[in-house]
Structure 1
Amino acid sequence: MNLLQSLIDASSLGAVYALAALGIGLTFSIMRLINFAHGELIMIGGYTLYLSASQPYLVMGLAAILVVTVLALGMERVAFRPLRRASPATLLIASFAVSFLLQHVAMMIFGARPVAIDFLSPLNQSLEIGSLRVPWLQLLALAVTLILLAGLSSFFRWTAIGIQMRAAAEDFTMARLVGIPANRVIAAAFAISGTLASIVSVYMVAQTGGASYKMGVNMVLFAFVASVIGGMGSLAGAALGGFLVGVVSVLLQTYLPEGMRLYRDAFVFGLFIAFLLWRPQGLLVKASDRERV
């Protein structure tokens, strides 16, 4: 029964990692940009919930989604569009610069200490089934993730902009040559990425009851690991990697000796290095990438 409890906890955590990894994988698949400023989108969502704390929960959540999505679009227009033809290394440095800038602006405005937020606190109560105790928030996180994965799959398969994004992810240069509008496709990728980041921030604030200027740092790091494990550029791989990282993290937290649980993240990253030595291309490889090998 303890194993079943651990698997339930791992699934909910993996669902959140999957959403964060999808946000990173989406921009990478089109622009070859590893956007470490994605963590600051999560942070902005948290502070938006803080500023709208006097409003109903629904209004707070919608405000966070709207603000973060608009900020993601602004980030693409101001910071990354002028560097679109630059090398991936330049784009990576730019993402770090945007990340540190937003962190320090938030620290100047809100201070370095975490702020408390009462958001969806009733969902922290647990559903008890025998000896199993499952917080409603975990069930909601898993359900929302599955719905979003199904929705994104349909979006990429059946909508015009979704098909254009898939084409751009396969070969961006060729997609532009056949008339696919680059600005619209990249803006759509950032908008979806921002929406996913806002949903992650909603979960994190509901779980922890607070926000801080560093709240997105660890999340984006684990999301990046999940993206690499799944296969950079593969959205299905990003989701799969997110669930795997969540499962490994929870199982290590559960079954490591008590004195070693403090070093759980070190074990996670150690396993990550071992995985890359075995399969550096990740679990799922796009057909276009496989042809280049």
Structure 2
Amino acid sequence: MDFEYLFELLCGGVVKGSIYALIALGYTMVYGIIQLINFAHGEVYMIGAFVAFIVAGIMTLTGYSGMSVLVLAAIVAVIYAAAYGYTLEKIAYRPLRKAPRLSPLISAIGASIFLMNYVQLAQTPDFLPFPELVTDFEFLEPISRYMSSVDVVILAVTAVTMTALTVLIKYTRIGKAMRATQQDQVMARLVGINVDRVISATFIIGSVLAAIGGVLIASRTGQINSAIGFMAGLKAFTAAVLGGIGNVPGAVLGGLVLGIAETLGAGYISSAYEDVFAFGLLVLILILRPAGLLGKAVKQKV
């Protein structure tokens, strides 16, 4: 066995899985609190990438380049995506919170289609070249064969983001309110928690994570279009289900497992079957462990 090639594939899988995990966290946080699959989440990822593309293009024309452009583009994309997440929750989901379960699901799919076509009409359905913003770091020369500078930035940003999210959920006031709302919304209201504000904050945080993922993956692939959110959202949803929907550590684990499985399958068999490996793994996990890798079977109250 070529262990050097295997290590290269594993590095690529971890990078890809980190992006899936970032987006999957948005799915799992929203589902954990209101049991809703936000199918427009992938489009928020796509919008974040497009906002970063526009900001980066403007700054490049004015003479700026490098990491400073990436940082500013990411900040603007995060703010823009947060506003979209808040608006989506306010308009598409909150009015249907007490409606039959199918109604918010249809609303989520409708919001996804609307956002995809909105960006397609406002921009173009064609692929656009995303500017190269991350230059090679000299100190990474020894590992440049396995990981590019962009890959290292992705891993670093993902690690910092996930650590910050863990701290927020476990130790901050809003994080405690999220956990209380997840357990019982009625009791959370009785102890003075503003449940509507908590749910809005959850959508905002999930949208921020999706935007960060959009900027990072666009920097890595070097191109974007209005349809990138569909497959990214589908893969991230798969990662969330793999890990155990509603479970934050599970979303991270599911993203990493999915990314590594895809990369190994593409490297040793064929890249044409990359999606087959991803969804085949999902079917296998659901057969062997329906609640996901870290999920727990929930007893229904009757």
> What range describes the TM-score normalised by the shorter chain of this pair?
over 0.9
Structure 1 length as normaliser, TM-score? 0.92
* SS of equivalent to 2:147: strand
Larger displacement relative to structure 2 (53-62 or 200-209):
53-62
Structure 1 partner of 2:40: 37
* SS of equivalent to 2:135: helix
Structure 2 partner of 1:165: 178
Structure 1 partner of 2:10: 7
Amino acid at match of 2:58: S
* SS of equivalent to 2:125: coil
Residues 150-202 of structure 1: per-residue CA shift (max 9 Å, x gap): 11111111111110101112223332233221111001101101110110111
Residues 32-74 of structure 1: per-residue CA shift (max 9 Å, x gap): 1111100110111122123222223332221111111111111
Residues 101-156 of structure 1: per-residue CA shift (max 9 Å, x gap): 11111111112112222142425999443783310111111111111121111111
CA contact (8 A) 2:25 2:252 kept: yes
Amino acid at match of 1:106: V
Structure 1 partner of 2:227: 214
Structure 2 partner of 1:285: 295
Structure 2 partner of 1:106: 119
**Structure 1: which 5+ runs fail to align?**
none
Structure 2 partner of 1:229: 242
* SS of equivalent to 1:87: coil
**Structure 2: which 5+ runs fail to align?**
60-68
What is the aligned-residue identity percentage? 34
For residues 139 and 109 of structure 2, the distance between their equivalents in structure 1, rounded to whole angstroms, comes to 39
Q: Number of matched residues?
A: 288
For residues 50 and 2 of structure 1, the distance between their equivalents in structure 2, rounded to whole angstroms, comes to 33
Aligned residue among 97, 102, 111 for 1:89:
102
Amino acid at match of 1:160: R
Structure 2 partner of 1:275: 285
Q: How does 1:191-202 map to 2 (within 5 A)?
A: 191-202=204-215
For residues 142 and 130 of structure 1, the distance between their equivalents in structure 2, rounded to whole angstroms, comes to 14
CA contact (8 A) 1:32 1:88 kept: no
CA contact (8 A) 2:151 2:220 kept: no
Amino acid at match of 1:38: H
CA contact (8 A) 2:92 2:104 kept: no
Residues 241-266 of structure 1: per-residue CA shift (max 9 Å, x gap): 0111011011111111xxx4312211
Q: CA RMSD in A?
A: 2.0
CA contact (8 A) 1:23 1:196 kept: yes
Q: How does 1:166-185 map to 2 (within 5 A)?
A: 166-185=179-198
1:47 paired with 2:50, answer yes
